[in-house]
């Protein structure tokens, strides 16, 4: 298809919202660089009636054939042609319920189920709605026309340019021509949308289902702020006349950056004052900022192939956080980024089954459980590392050059490196090729010899894996001298081994100072680790470094190079810790240890968890207080359920008293509402399930539904767990079934028979959206398979051979199971 390029599409659609069908006509103006006799187009789940070729003032019919397995429609031309080719195709499709292509999304209004129809085309589902060249490099302009019922609202990427009454209760809407863009960014939708406009920036609008627009005010405000930040940072104005933020109830992903018509799950756009927590509010801001950053990274400049998808997602992830940090510096956004994004990326990337950030994909590269932590989180973490090395000003200048040079066009990774290299005058290409094209990341092993540090790098994996990979690593080291002073030294470790002069007055050293580097650090000098422990206790180390030391140690537990008891013993240094980042990191590692271990090791983790949480809650209180910090509220919500699971009775009593308030219609603070519901499920006295069921049926907010769904996965009683599982499969909407199931996969009382339940209901689970089914596999197998590793491995090996479904996710889940099995076995041996 590289010889044939689209120039312009005119797409005419008439959706039937009663029968959920649509008729369509697509005119495609193409250009063939060499003589051709056939035009191959992408198409899927469409029925074609006729294809015509424009010949002078008339037209000629063209025969065509359709190969469903290849998703390819081949049009045969009457004569060999070169240059401009103008085709018209008539077709019909179904407004499906698959949350892909042109699909229907259900909502309730006054007890009645209604639907809107919207599109979701990334990565390769535009072909479900119209015939096209469905690869990002095939950019074109688009005209969209829709015939809709008179009372309905139609939306697309551009504003309505012309409206015509047709009679019979119908009208035709023609939208303005789009800029040159890829098919996956096209959007059209129809339904009873309510639309409100931002009062300060009329370009920004919100579209919701009826009755929901009153909750879109915060989203509008955040959208305007994000747009302003990006325009100023990138030095390029937003090129479209409008930016719609569209709330969709049935949505497989979090959001989608369609140019000028961004779609969101409702809980990631709408804000409910008495229900949305501080964490939920921040998540709304992050996602809106992420999608608006895409209007430049992905939309204005598009990856030339899916292997360069990271150019979209890594930058949007980084800038989503940057925008939030700009407007809310008190939220400790970059500390949260370390504990969430970087931690998730390091953990995923330590698997033998990891993938490079730049994945050779050709036709398709799916965003799923296997790839998302690499494309989004690792990519953003690497960008943060390169920014620390080059400097923020140089990076900003390089990004501006990149965007200006490739606007309305496509780009590959090397185009970005060249722009950054010109701006920074440093060897960016040589450095970044290793980080982007190689799978995995390094561990830097450090040993002191008098006044020198000897550095050795190798690839870090949890399970043994031979590798000769070498990275160019910017190494920052914080030195602590014998007079109480500190200084920082740096080097670029570009070979397997290196060394660094530190002087003879140093008593301790912390490698990867500030945790801006994407690598692990292993200290061969035990005396230095003891000194770092002392600095942790004294809180002399920066909070990022206190987090990094324990985070690296827990990674070494999972790799088998240190024992669980050694790790738990080191955590004593954090007994008086009071900062969000190290506390949040420890809390997560301890709970993971608790889930994996058995017997004394499990109780040791629980005892440490009880002590940590009791001390924390004594300091911050059980209830959110006026004026408390953003991260304090988030940390409290993180630890309340583990406290109850560990057996902290006073926390259980508090949670049940607040749940009683909820059941009697009394308000509970949004920042603890989810954890109160989960703790109530764990300590259920027989009344929680019925209340959850009623609350879910009456909930008008997706935020509230998500809280209840988390609680449904948190029961301790076996009968309640079974009841909840039955309810999930029969009553919870498909878009949300994975939520309580994944919470159950982290519930120590649900885990023992989680694998059997998965097998017994495999057919039903396979019907879910592929990305949701993969999340369930990734959740159930690693911990639910403990104690039965061979059985699980044999079943899933046969499953992959027979069905080929979720193969990469299954391999990842089995590797995690092997890691946890070894971790549990090593603890028993010790």
Side-chain half-sphere CA neighbours of 788 within 13 A? 16
Per-residue pLDDT at 56:
85
Q: Of 461, 678, 717, which Cα lies nearest the Cα of 591?
A: 678
Task: Name the one residue in this structure whose structure tokens are 């076996």.
Answer: 718
Q: Quick check: 752 pLDDT over 60?
A: yes
Q: Quick check: 830 pLDDT over 70?
A: no
What value does the mean pLDDT take over residues 455-466? 96
What value does the mean pLDDT take over residues 345-357? 95
Residues 6 or more apart in contact with residue 148 via CB below 8 angstroms:
14, 15, 154, 170, 171, 173, 190
Per-residue pLDDT at 6:
97
Per-residue pLDDT at 458:
97
Per-residue pLDDT at 546:
98
Q: Quick check: 243 pLDDT over 60?
A: yes
CA distance 513 to 383: 17
Q: Summarize pLDDT for 680-691 with one digit per residue, the tens.
A: 999 987 889 999
Per-residue pLDDT at 523:
97
Name the maximum alpha-carbon separation found in the chain: 90
CA distance 187 to 458: 46
Distances (CA, A) of 286 to 292, 293, 450: 10, 10, 47
The torsion angle over the Cα atoms of residues 144, 148, 152 and 156, rounded to 10 degrees, is -10
Burial status of residue 539 (CB atoms within 10 A of its CB: 0-12, 13-18, 19 or more)? middle
Q: Quick check: 393 pLDDT over 70?
A: yes
Q: Quick check: 750 pLDDT over 60?
A: yes
Per-residue pLDDT at 262:
98
Per-residue pLDDT at 628:
95
Burial status of residue 756 (CB atoms within 10 A of its CB: 0-12, 13-18, 19 or more)? exposed
What value does the mean pLDDT take over residues 553-574? 96
Per-residue pLDDT at 370:
84
Average pLDDT for the chain? 95
Adjacency order of strands within the sheet including 520-523? 497-501, 452-459, 442-449, 520-523
Global confidence as pTM: 0.96
Q: Summarize pLDDT for 125-183 with one digit per residue, the tens.
A: 999 999 999 999 999 999 999 999 998 999 999 999 999 999 999 999 999 999 999 99
Q: Is 382 in contact with 314 (CB distance < 8 Å)? A: yes
Return left, alpha or beta for 804; rule: phi > 0 is left, psi -120 to 50 is alpha, else beta.
left
Per-residue pLDDT at 2:
64
Q: Quick check: 427 pLDDT over 90?
A: no
CA distance 64 to 61: 10
CA distance 165 to 452: 81
What value does the mean pLDDT take over residues 646-668? 95
Phi, psi angle pair for 825, to nearest 5°? -65, -40
DSSP code at position 728: H
Per-residue pLDDT at 305:
87
Per-residue pLDDT at 362:
52
How many residues are there in the chain? 830
Active-site amino acid positions: 291
Q: Summarize pLDDT for 244-269 with one digit per residue, the tens.
A: 999 999 998 899 999 999 999 999 99
Tokens of 481: 């001298």
3-state SS, residue 92: strand
CA distance 389 to 517: 9
What value does the mean pLDDT take over residues 805-815? 94
Tokens of 259: 């140019």
Q: Of 339, 555, 528, which Cα lies nearest the Cα of 442?
A: 555
- The β-bridge relationship of strands 301-303 and 409-411 is parallel
Distance of CA 4 to the CA centre of its chain: 34
Q: Say if residue 123 is preceded by a cis peptide, omega within 30 of 0.
A: yes
Q: Is 321 in contact with 282 (CB distance < 8 Å)? A: no
Which has more confidence, 804 or 571?
571
CA distance 171 to 146: 8
Per-residue pLDDT at 828:
56
Range scoring the smallest mean pLDDT among 53-57, 324-328, 659-663: 53-57
CA distance 734 to 252: 9
> 673 pairs with which residues across the strands?
none
Per-residue pLDDT at 204:
98
């Amino acid at each position: 298809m590289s010889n044939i390029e689209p120039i312009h599409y005119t797409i005419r659609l008439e959706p039937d919202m009663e029968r959920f069908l649509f008729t369509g006509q697509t005119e495609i103006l193409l250009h063939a660089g060499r003589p051709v006799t056939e035009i191959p187009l992408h198409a899927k789940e469409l029925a074609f009636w006729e294809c015509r070729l424009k010949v002078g003032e008339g037209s000629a019919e063209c025969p065509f054939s359709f190969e469903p397995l290849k998703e390819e429609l081949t049009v045969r031309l009457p004569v060999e042609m070169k240059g401009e080719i103008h085709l018209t195709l008539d077709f019909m499709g179904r407004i499906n319920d698959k949350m892909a292509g042109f699909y229907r999304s259900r909502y309730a209004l006054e007890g009645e189920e209604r639907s809107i129809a919207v599109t979701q085309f990334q990565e390769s589902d535009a072909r479900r709605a119209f015939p096209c060249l469905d690869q990002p490099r095939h950019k074109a302009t688009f005209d969209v026309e829709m015939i809709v019922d008179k009372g309905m609202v139609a939306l697309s990427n551009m504003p309505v340019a012309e409206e015509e009454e047709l009679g019979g209760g119908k009208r035709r809407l023609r939208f303005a021509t789009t800029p040159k863009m890829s098919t996956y960014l096209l959007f059209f939708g129809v339904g009873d949308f309510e639309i409100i406009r931002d009062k300060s920036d009329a370009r920004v609008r919100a579209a919701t289902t009826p009755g929901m627009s009153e909750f879109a005010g915060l989203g509008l405000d955040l959208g305007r702020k994000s747009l302003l930040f990006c325009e100023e940072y990138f030095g390029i104005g937003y090129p479209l006349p409008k930016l719609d933020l569209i709330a969709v109830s049935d949505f497989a992903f979090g959001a989608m950056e369609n140019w000028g018509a961004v779609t969101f799950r409702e809980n990631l756009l709408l804000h409910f004052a008495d229900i949305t927590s501080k964490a939920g509010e921040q998540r709304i801001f992050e996602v809106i900022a992420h999608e608006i950053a895409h209007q430049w990274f992905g939309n204005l400049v598009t990856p030339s192939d899916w292997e360069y998808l990271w150019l979209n997602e890594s930058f949007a992830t980084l800038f989503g956080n940057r925008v939030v940090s700009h407007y809310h510096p008190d939220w400790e956004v970059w500390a949260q980024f370390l504990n969430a994004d970087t931690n998730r990326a390091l953990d995923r990337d330590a698997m033998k089954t990891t993938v490079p950030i730049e994945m050779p994909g050709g036709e398709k590269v799916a965003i799923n459980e296997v790839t998302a932590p690499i494309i989004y989180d690792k990519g953003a973490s690497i960008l943060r590392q390169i920014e620390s090395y080059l400097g923020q000003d140089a990076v900003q200048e390089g990004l501006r050059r990149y965007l200006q040079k490739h606007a309305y066009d496509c780009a590959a990774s090397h185009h970005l490196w060249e722009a950054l290299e010109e701006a920074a005058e440093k060897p960016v290409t040589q450095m970044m090729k290793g980080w982007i094209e190689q799978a995995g990341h390094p561990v830097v092993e450090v040993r002191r010899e008098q006044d020198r540090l000897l550095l050795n790098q190798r690839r870090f994996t949890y399970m043994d894996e031979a590798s000769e990979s070498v990275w160019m690593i910017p190494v920052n080291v914080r030195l602590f001298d014998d007079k109480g002073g500190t200084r920082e030294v740096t080097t670029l470790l570009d070979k397997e081994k290196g060394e660094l002069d530190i002087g003879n007055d140093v008593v301790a050293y912390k490698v990867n100072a500030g945790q801006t580097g994407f690598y692990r650090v292993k200290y061969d000098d035990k005396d230095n680790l003891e000194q770092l422990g002392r600095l942790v206790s004294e809180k002399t180390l920066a909070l990022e470094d206190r987090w990094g030391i324990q985070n690296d140690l827990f990674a070494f537990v999972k790799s088998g190079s240190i024992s669980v008891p050694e790790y738990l013993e080191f955590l004593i240094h954090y007994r008086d810790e009071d900062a969000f980042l190290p506390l949040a990191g420890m809390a997560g590692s301890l709970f993971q240890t608790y889930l994996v271990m058995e017997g004394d090791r499990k109780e040791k983790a629980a005892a440490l968890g009880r002590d940590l949480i009791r001390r924390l809650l004594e300091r911050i209180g059980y209830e959110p207080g006026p004026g408390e910090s953003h991260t304090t509220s988030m940390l409290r919500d993180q630890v309340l359920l583990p406290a109850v699971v560990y057996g902290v009775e006073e926390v259980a009593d508090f949670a049940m008293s607040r749940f009683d308030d909820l059941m009697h219609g009394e308000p509970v603070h949004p920042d603890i509402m989810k954890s109160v519901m989960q703790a109530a499920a764990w300590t259920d006295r027989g009344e929680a399930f019925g209340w959850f069921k009623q609350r879910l049926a009456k909930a008008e907010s997706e935020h509230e539904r998500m809280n209840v769904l988390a609680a449904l996965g948190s029961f301790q009683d076996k009968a309640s767990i079974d009841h909840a599982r039955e309810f999930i499969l029969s009553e919870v909407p498909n878009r949300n079934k994975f939520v309580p199931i994944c919470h159950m996969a982290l519930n120590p009382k649900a885990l023992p028979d989680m694998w059997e339940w998965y097998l017994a209901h495999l057919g039903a689970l396979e019907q879910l959206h592929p990305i949701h089914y993969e999340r369930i596999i990734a959740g159930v197998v690693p911990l639910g398979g403990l104690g039965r590793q061979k059985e699980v491995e044999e079943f899933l090996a046969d499953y992959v051979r027979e069905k080929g479904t979720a193969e990469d996710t299954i391999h990842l889940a089995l590797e995690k199971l092997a890691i946890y099995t070894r971790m549990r076995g090593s603890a028993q041996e010790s």
